[in-house]
Amino acid sequence: MVKRRDVLRGMALAAAGCGVGVAPLFAQGPGDQSAGPTLTPVEGLPEVRVSEAINHVLAPIRDRHHLPGLIGGLVHGDRLESVGVVGIRKVGSPALFQVGDQIHLGSDTKAMTATMIGSLVDEGKLGWAATVEEVFPDQAKKLHPDFRAVTLWQLLTHRAGLPANGPWWMLKQNQSTTEQRRVLMAGMLQSAPLTKPGTKFAYSNVGYAVAGLMAEQVTGQSWETLMRQRLFEPLGMKAGGFGPPGTKGKVDQPWGHQAEGETFTPRQEDNAPALGPAGTVHCTLADWARFAGLHLRAAQGKPRLLKQETFRTLQTPPPGSEYAGGWLVVERPWAGGRALTHSGSNTMWYATLWVAPQRDLAILTATNAGGDPASDACNEAVEALVNLSQIAPDRE
């Protein structure tokens, strides 16, 4: 299960949560670099270039934290411009971590779920103010009265008063993921909320599962199908999928690793499929860059897929909060002002994304390991990539 200590470690919020670990990245400006990156085209990914400079900064971070593998890249506009990767796919295997390998995003899935739901809002199938009672009228009487008026937007901004996690292990494997989410909602929304809905931030994977179920309810399609049709396919995220990357029992993709001190045990597992809207997407770094570029461009007033107003909503926290629709929104000097960020971990992977619209820059990094070493490594990798981004890359 997702661990609260791992996921919000270092996040600049008053309450700890679950499934996200956004660090408050260095306060001072980035250091100087004396030489620009050497870039090599990636076979099969002509738009992506391997940067020896990125490899050079990732390698000591990986070694220092004893990680199996570490990958990172720089996005300008809507393309992954340079990338580096070091390490192996699985402890005990000689297979190297590759640029085109799949990575598990954990709670970085949340911004994707919120964006997919934004397409339903644009079409009038859902509204940000739609309530649980309105979307599920047949079940409303079985729910606690305080939960009936909870809105879609409160679920997406963690202000619905729901707990971080539910009894995922009690869900039946022979049920569809939609039915599992329906059972979860019926069970979790019968008791009184932890806080009065709409008043306080309380990070909740359950809330995103319910938001995903609302999308399923109004469309008659599974969340997984909606993500493929409304996000992955339009963005060209060809490797977008759900659960642990790769074929069970094979090392055709990186495995996740559970941290045990400074050692890591390979695990090809994930959280319960019902958790999907909160954190089960996997994809390549190039795929993830396409999503980052979507929000980067939208923040610059160049929207695709969704209306500008919808992106503005997704990127604007409610008053008194820093958390919007799957994004923590903060101010950072190196970003030139406002930045969007999130991190995610299923305790076997860790991934971090920063979007800096004023810099026309997004930074992505991930490791096939969980725990504190992975969180620290991703933060250090982001800082190193910010430093490298000060050097204008070759953009022929």
- The fold of 4-26+36-108+239-389 is Beta-lactamase (3.40.710)
Whether the CB-CB separation of 191 and 143 falls below 8 Å is answered with no
Chain centroid to Cα 203, Å, comes to 14
Looking at residue 355, what is its pLDDT? 98
Domain boundaries along the sequence of the chain: 4-26+36-108+239-389, 113-226
Question: Of 110, 94, 53, which is closest to residue 342 (Cα–Cα)?
Answer: 110
What dihedral do alpha carbons 386, 387, 389, 394 form, nearest 10°? -150
Whether the CB-CB separation of 205 and 279 falls below 8 Å is answered with yes
Q: Decide if 4-26+36-108+239-389 and 113-226 have a common fold.
A: yes
Q: Helix 177-188 crosses helix 205-219 at what angle (to 10 degrees)?
A: 120
> Per-residue confidence of the chain (396 residues) as pLDDT tens digits?
333 333 344 332 223 233 333 334 433 333 333 334 455 555 555 556 788 999 999 999 999 999 999 999 999 988 899 999 999 999 999 999 999 999 999 999 999 999 999 999 999 999 999 999 999 999 999 999 999 999 999 999 999 999 999 988 778 888 999 999 999 999 999 999 999 999 999 999 999 999 999 999 999 999 999 999 999 999 999 999 999 999 999 999 999 999 988 799 999 999 999 999 999 999 999 999 999 999 999 999 999 999 999 999 999 999 999 999 999 999 999 999 999 999 999 999 999 999 999 999 999 999 999 999 999 999 999 999 999 998 644 443
- Per DSSP, 227 falls in state H
Looking at residue 49, what is its pLDDT? 78
Looking at residue 393, what is its pLDDT? 47
What are the structure tokens assigned to 301, written together? 């007033």
What are the structure tokens assigned to 347, written together? 């305790």
CATH number belonging to domain 113-226: 3.40.710.10
Looking at residue 266, what is its pLDDT? 98
- Per DSSP, 31 falls in state P
Rg (CA), the chain: 20
Looking at residue 32, what is its pLDDT? 34
Cα–Cα distance measured from residue 16 to residue 204, given in angstroms and rounded to the nearest whole number? 10
Cα–Cα distance measured from residue 323 to residue 333, given in angstroms and rounded to the nearest whole number? 19
- Indicate the pairing of strand 350-356 with strand 45-51: unpaired
Answer positive or negative: Cα dihedral of 289, 265, 8, 10.
Answer: negative
Q: Which helix (H) or strand (E) holds 46?
A: strand 45-51
What dihedral do alpha carbons 46, 115, 354, 2 form, nearest 10°? -110
